[in-house]
Chains A and B, each alone.
Chain A
């Protein structure tokens, strides 16, 4: 691409850089309003971000406000004034996510390891809280005596569902459940609905106080160590956690004495069950160093699939660009002839596939290729199993790429042809070139030089053209013996499957693949850059 080319007549830098002149009054007011709004947003946002402890966003926010003031308040940093808006968006919504993705690639982030160790242990205890067999279901009311409904302390008023005498029990945090000895409460339909001196919580208040209520430890006397758990706004039951965390030895211990020690399984630590696997498949988010990368490079099946997908990605993008260009060029040559009537009408009609949103076209084409009921086989009376065979599916993918992409190349080439001065063709003709050799010796090179950057851009786009695969074949058909990559999967769709696909999510590993893809993309960009640079030097 000619991105860094200096304008052909490059005057001395000082002459070409305009200086800021005296600012006009409207300009000044605009500036004040703009900076004022920025400051207002900053002042509004910063306390909120501190309140929610979002340090990353806080950093972004403060940096943005400071930079805006530094750049736009002074007369210096003129390029900065123009670069700032786009760069800011780019940094926050592209570079930051990329950096975070790189970070994920060094972790075991994925199914069973999305949260911290503490959260995982807490979840295990909640999940293992088992109702005492044959214990009653209690109706529940929650009251506060003088305290406030949001913070407690709370008193639970329970009546066992199977108790015909409707004896009211009361429980407080840290105390045993005991018969209520205070003033007689009102009971409606087996549930306490009013207690003198107490304010009973509504369902909404119970919902708001949920975390506090769950944290209450109301013991059920009788030595079974079980407690009362609030289940719904109107129900509670007794039971206990069947698994506890033994902090001293960093292990889980079950009621029956089974120990789950903290050991490494695969790439990460977890509490290991007797069968050698993680307890309930649970682990926690942790740093695994470069294990994801070493797995990617050493697991022969994964490496082979990655390389195969890479090869197809290259073919796919090259073919997409090359064939759309050839067809577009050919059509431009064909129709860009003053003797062909209705040029505008042809061009308008052939532009159609490009104008239809790509997502729509792809979804429609995915139906057209069905072997027995698709439009293509019906129309031509053939019986081709397009999506059943790897090669055919690849051909189908490319055909759709051509259908969707040729109009753009057609338009570009038509324009480029029209911009080639007539005297060049005339001169060639005088030199004795025939039509065909003029085309190949004179027109084609001239045209290639002018459209090369577009071809390169198109290649880069197709290299990661996720929609073209996902919406058309979803990467299919399946290949025997390869379970991550399908026959038409390009790298990006394969990585997507790895991260979100059917057989479990593994963001850490998928991120490592993404980083590798990013590096590959970068290398390709560098190569393209060299090629276009060379082309540029030719002119």
Chain B
């Protein structure tokens, strides 16, 4: 490692070299450290509150008075609501919606990128426009739609996970842009060769292009996943029974119910929600960096 060699040399050698190191490299560490503090302190604080049996909104101290897992056991014990059930529901909602969105988006992105048809340009513009409409504004309409649907098909009604998933599928084409951007950057010669070899359009998509798309799909999936996990406003309108709630709705309800008593428990919930996502993020970091850039370079 050349950098470590540089450093050891600096330690051994003159003050001038050391100064030069500070000017060129050292300050970067300082800034990095400052950012680590800015990122880390709030995170550590919340972990602290979650471990503090007296965890409260008044933030009596930055460090917990004593460390116990009371808040975690309370939450997992179910006296504040079926936390594990919320966890499972969230997982189901996020996974199903993410997978379906990715499938729909990739298919559409393929059509927009590779196929030529009338209305393509208008279609993609219309899509851009309509996706910007926030569905929060249409919540009354959604509510009455799903009330009806639920009467005929109870599994898709309000207060059902399936109905909630269906409602979130309004964003089915939300990931088209990133995928299309990546597709556009893949040379067409690749699929043309396959077509000459006798592949059908679906084989071109599924066998040739899809494997190339995996990194960007990992990225978009992650982004979609995190977006869906945070959705709470439609959720709190839709999911009324404790068993059907997602983590966002349930935890928000905990805070609304009695903030004073529930803050520590909420913090414990926050930690338990975040840890798996953070781990997944770190695990997929390579793809995310690559994917974000691939999407960006030719959005």
Direct contact of A and B (CB under 8 A): yes
Q: Which A residues fall within an 8 A CB radius of B?
A: 1-5, 7, 9, 11, 13, 15-21, 23, 45, 48-49, 51-52, 54, 56-57, 78-79, 81-83, 85-87, 89-90, 92-98, 100-101, 104, 109, 331, 334-335, 337-341, 344, 346-360, 363-365, 367-368, 370, 373-375, 378-379, 403, 408, 411-412, 414-416, 418-419, 450-454, 457, 460, 463-464, 466-467, 470, 492, 495-496, 499, 507, 511, 514, 517-518, 521-522, 525, 529
Return B225 CB to nearest CB of chain A, in Å: 9
Question: Apart from A9-B188, A82-B108, A340-B28, what are 20 other A-B pairs with CB-CB below 8 Å?
Answer: A3-B124, A20-B201, A54-B148, A78-B201, A86-B107, A90-B127, A90-B173, A96-B145, A101-B140, A331-B31, A331-B32, A341-B3, A349-B36, A352-B39, A356-B278, A359-B229, A373-B58, A375-B42, A415-B293, A514-B138
B134-153 interface code vs A (CB 8 A; 1 in, 0 out): 11111111101100110111
Q: Is the CB of B277 within 8 A of A357?
A: yes
B169 beta carbon closer than 8 Å to chain A: yes
Interface contact B137-A492, CB-CB below 8 Å: yes
> Complex: how many Å from CA A17 to CA B115?
6
Tell me which residues across on chain B come within 8 A of A525, comparing CB atoms.
128-129, 132
- Tell me which residues across on chain A come within 8 A of B293, comparing CB atoms: 412, 415-416, 418-419, 450
Residues in chain B near residue A348, CB distance under 8 A: 282, 285
Task: Please tell me if B210 contacts chain A, counting CB pairs below 8 Å.
Answer: no
- Are B38's CB and A403's CB within 8 A? yes
A13 surroundings in chain B (CB, below 8 A): 116
16 A-B pairs within 8 Å (CB atoms) are namely: A3-B112, A3-B124, A3-B180, A4-B125, A19-B200, A19-B201, A21-B200, A82-B115, A85-B107, A351-B285, A355-B277, A357-B229, A357-B273, A416-B293, A454-B295, A467-B232
- In the complex, are the beta carbons of A354 and B132 less than 8 A apart? no
Say yes or no: B135 contacts A94, CB within 8 Å.
yes
Tell me how many residue pairs across A and B have CB atoms closer than 8 Å: 338
- Given the interface pairs A340-B28, A363-B266, the reply to whether A5 lies near B184 with Cβ below 8 Å is yes
Chain B hits for A403, CB < 8 A:
38-39, 42
Question: Is the CB–CB distance between A359 and B232 below 8 Å?
Answer: yes
A460 engages B39 (CB within 8 Å): no
Number of B residues, CB within 8 Å of A: 126
Q: Given A3-B177, A411-B292, are A94 and B170 neighbors across the interface (CB < 8 Å)? A: yes
Q: Which residues of B contact A (CB under 8 A)?
A: 1-4, 6, 24-25, 27-29, 31-32, 35-36, 38-43, 45-46, 57-60, 62, 100, 103-105, 107-108, 110-117, 120-121, 123-125, 127-142, 144-145, 148-149, 151-153, 166-173, 176-177, 180-181, 184, 187-188, 191-192, 195, 198-202, 204-205, 226, 229-233, 248, 251-252, 255, 263, 266-267, 270, 273-274, 277-278, 280-282, 285, 288-290, 292-293, 295-299
